[in-house]
Amino acid sequence: MKQKQVVYVISDSVGETAELVVKAVATQFNGGHVEIRRNSYVDDIEDIEDVILLAKKGNSLIAYTIVIPALKEYLDQRAAEEDLVAVDLLSPLMNAFSAKFNQEPHHQPGLMRKLDEEYFRKIEAIEFAVKYDDGRDPRGILKADIVLIGVSRTSKTPLSMYLAHKRFKVANVPLVPEVPPPDELFQIPRKNCIGLIISPDKLNEIRKERLKALGLGSQANYASFQRILDELDYAEKIMKRVGCPIINVSNKAVEETAGLILDVLKKERSL
């Protein structure tokens, strides 16, 4: 009876990288019919010894991604003593990096997983900002790390997206005199909310440009000075009722305003 082909994957992290490489290679032989037994988060020689004994018993191959030098040396030594093939999947490329770029590796397991987690947190925050943009669903207010409120054209959406790239879940709510603010706005801690205001002259200029871009006349009520004053007055009353910090965005780039928001929140939440 033909002996089962087994590859033991050993990693001081999750081991996904090693398993994917083994699978890629296995597809070149016998249609990939190889049993892979993954051993994740190996952090002492006893774990390695267990795999060595199993691999010897089954005359199996070992593939590993271990960055902790002491564990790697032990595995190489024991594999040689037991006449086992143990393939190091990382060191050749790590050595090439060191030689070419004149840098030393951190020898710290789990860094790839950390990068992946950071990436997925950012994607989640971006999706959150899109879902809860412009007050579409007030339930997002209760889930958000930051809630931005202000009249139209105070950069709420660009700020939400910018902060999302820094992994903050941001909801934004437009303040319009004819539309009562959502109840959820008054249920969150004041330190989670930021009010955005702007000078009437600057808002008038921005709104006129917006109307022009839409092919509409600049005399529309949306850009009228009295309408703007009414909206700003209404917005400030809501912000005072919420009790949130207020930032004036006039003549500020999105990056500058975002920095101010984070500074204010840091100060508020440290009190």
Annotated binding site for ADP: 150-157
Instruction: Kindly calculate the radius of gyration of the chain based on its CA atoms and give it in whole angstroms.
Output: 29
In angstroms, what CA-CA distances link 160 with 39, 111, 121, 251? 41, 28, 15, 18
Tell me how far apart the alpha carbons of residues 260 and 237 are, in angstroms, rounded to a whole number: 22
Kindly state the tokens that stand for 132: 């809860």
Nearest Cα neighbor of 23 from 43, 7, 42, 4 is 7
- Per the CB < 8 A criterion, the answer to whether 181 and 173 are in contact is yes
The residue behind tokens 């440009």 is 209
Q: How remote is the C-alpha of 38 from its chain's centroid?
A: 27
Q: C-alpha dihedral over 100, 101, 103, 105, to 10 degrees? A: -70
Q: What are phi and psi of 147, to 5 degrees?
A: -120, 125
Tell me how far apart the alpha carbons of residues 174 and 150 are, in angstroms, rounded to a whole number: 5
Tell me how far apart the alpha carbons of residues 20 and 50 are, in angstroms, rounded to a whole number: 22
Kindly state the tokens that stand for 49: 């010894």
* Bind-site residues: 150-157
Q: Which residues pair with 38 in a beta bridge?
A: 9
Annotate 255-265 with b (16+ C-beta within 10 A) or e (fewer): eebbebbeebb
